[in-house]
Structures are given as C-alpha cells and as structure tokens.
C-alpha cells in the first residue's frame, strides 16, 4: 500500500455504530508486549545499529532484503511471534463469508473527528491529519475505509492493559474512521498523541504515533501501518520504527507538517499520503504484528 509513511501494529476490524468503543478495546497497546529479560536502552540501540549494518551488508552482497525485518531481535516480542513454519495458503473467499461487513453507509461523518466524540473537549494539541490513498501509478483509491487509533495527549490508551501512570482523558477515546472521497482523500481531526513507555526493555518509550488501517475491497486485503511526527528524538531508540532498516523507508512513515493545512486559531495540520503498492509503497506491518 501506499506512499508516505508507516511502521506499527494494530488490532481487530470493526463495522457497526458501536465501533468506537470496540475499537478502543481491541487496540492493544505495545505495553502488552512485555519482555521477560529486560536489557538497557544502550544495548538495544547498539543491536539496532548492528542489525541495520548486517542488512546493508547482505544487500551489498546481492541478497534481496525486504523493507522490514520481521525477525528483528531488538524488538523482542517479534522474535517470539516470527513464524517458524512455512506460510499456508487459505482461501480468502471463505474468510469473507464469516467476516463482518463494512461500507460507506456504516460510517458517520462524526467518526472522522476524534475531538467531538464526547460531551466535552479533549485535552492536548488539536491537529488534523490529511492525505491521499494512492496506488503505485498515482491513481486515487476512492471509497476505501481508513481507520486510526492512538494514545491520548498524555500517551495513554483507553485499554485495560494500559495502566501506566498517565491520565486518561474522559473526552478522548482515540479511535476514528472515514471513507476516502473520489480523489482518494481522507481527513481526521484529532489530538496529537503523546509518547508512551512500553516493556520491550528498560526505559523503552515509543515515539508518538497514530496507527492506520486501510482496507481494500475485502478484509483479507487489510493493511496496517503507523504515522510518526517530524523530528522525534526517540526515532533512533525505537525498535519498532527501526524494523524498517533503510532511512528513506523510515522517512516515508513520518507525517509532514503542512502549514497550508493548519487552521488559524484552531489546529496544526499534517499530511500523510499512503501508497499501497509499487516501489513507493508505504511499509505495512505483517498481520501477526497487529497490536
């Protein structure tokens, strides 16, 4: 999929009007992925440098190396979840018979504004994120369901397993969805998420990010990624972001600040285009990593 940004994890799809609550419950935060043996940040950072160098070396020797390294040791739980057996082909049409349905009629306009889902205003920096969903020929993908989920401004998810001592916001759930228009455009109004700790290693913090999911024409085509924010000092420290080993591919996951999208006295604007295949494709996480 797409062209501008990503790295991440996700959760279950949803389809009805109770979707927001379901989504928030299903969106497991990275803090679920506690590692039994906790090492220090400098050890993780050095592992990241070493694995990137090894990937570079393998590519230099003529080996094909994928955009993301699925068995990426600094991201500890990815090793536990990495497949040890060959993939098995399943019939997607059979899956479609039992999957929930979704469509334009199910999606209310209000669901694209995460600041209007409660009786009061959420705390934090109001922002919009806007972009186009494109194929590798630059053609817009219309009528596609785009979902997001995220932590609040303090870095806390509405999830029973996220109990780190940052405040919940009674006016912010952190989930939204929208369907792309005829130009492949989507737009969300939300609150800029905070960074948050997780348990991959000692003092592990995730850079601020928004999780994105994009559906094709069916659930079996679903792709999940993350958008980050420019200039985050946590980038070189984060194992998830660095599962993508080339800098240019990591750069594609960063939402660009766009002053033309900022609204006077109201919100900061970011642009995040998503390309779903071809050499400019946004990197999407493998299905088993959705968390």
CA angle 108, 114, 118 (to 5 degrees): 90
Q: How many CA atoms lie within 13 A of 119 on its CB side?
A: 1
Q: How far apart are CA 186 and CA 62, in angstroms?
A: 39
What are the catalytic residues? 157, 196, 206, 209, 211
Q: Which stretches does DSSP call E strand in 101-199?
A: 126-134, 145-149, 175-179, 185-191, 196-198
- Tokens representing 132 are 């186009």
Which of these, 122, 188, 46, 172, lies nearest to 54 by C-alpha position?
46
User: CA-CA distance, 118 to 187, in Å (whole number)?
Assistant: 19
Exposed, middle or buried by CB within 10 Å (0-12, 13-18, 19+), for 241?
buried
Rg (CA), the chain: 18
The per-type count for the chain, helices as H runs and strands as E runs, is 5, 11
Neighbours of 67 (CB within 10 A): 16
d(CA 35, CA 76): 6
**CA 184/CA 134 separation, integer angstroms:** 7
């Amino acid at each position: 999929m797409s062209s501008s940004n990503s790295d991440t994890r996700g959760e279950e799809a949803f389809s009805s009007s109770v979707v927001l609550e379901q989504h928030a419950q299903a969106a497991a935060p990275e803090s679920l992925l506690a590692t039994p043996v906790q090492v220090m940040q400098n050890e993780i950072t050095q592992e990241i440098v070493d694995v990137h160098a090894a990937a570079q070396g393998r590519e230099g020797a003529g080996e094909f190396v994928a955009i993301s390294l699925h068995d990426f040791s600094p991201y500890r739980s990815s090793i536990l979840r990495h497949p040890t057996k060959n993939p098995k082909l399943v019939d997607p049409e059979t899956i479609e018979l039992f999957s929930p349905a979704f469509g334009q009629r199910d999606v209310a306009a209000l669901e694209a504004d995460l600041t209007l889902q409660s009786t009061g205003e959420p705390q934090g920096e109001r922002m919009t994120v806007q972009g186009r969903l494109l194929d590798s020929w630059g053609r817009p993908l219309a009528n596609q369901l785009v979902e997001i989920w995220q932590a609040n401004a303090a870095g806390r998810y509405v999830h029973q397993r996220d109990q780190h001592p940052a405040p919940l916001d009674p006016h912010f759930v952190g989930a939204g969805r929208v369907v792309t228009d005829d130009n492949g455009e989507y737009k969300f109004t939300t609150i800029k998420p905070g960074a948050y700790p997780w348990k991959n290693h000692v003092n592990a913090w995730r850079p601020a990010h928004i999780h994105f999911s994009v559906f094709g024409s069916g659930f079996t085509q679903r792709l999940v990624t993350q958008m980050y924010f420019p200039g985050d000092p946590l980038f070189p420290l984060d194992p998830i972001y660095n599962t993508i080993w080339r800098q240019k591919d990591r750069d594609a996951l960063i939402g660009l600040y766009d002053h033309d999208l900022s609204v006077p006295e109201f919100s900061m604007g970011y642009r995040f285009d998503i390309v779903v295949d071809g050499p400019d494709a946004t990197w999407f996480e493998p299905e088993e990593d959705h968390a």
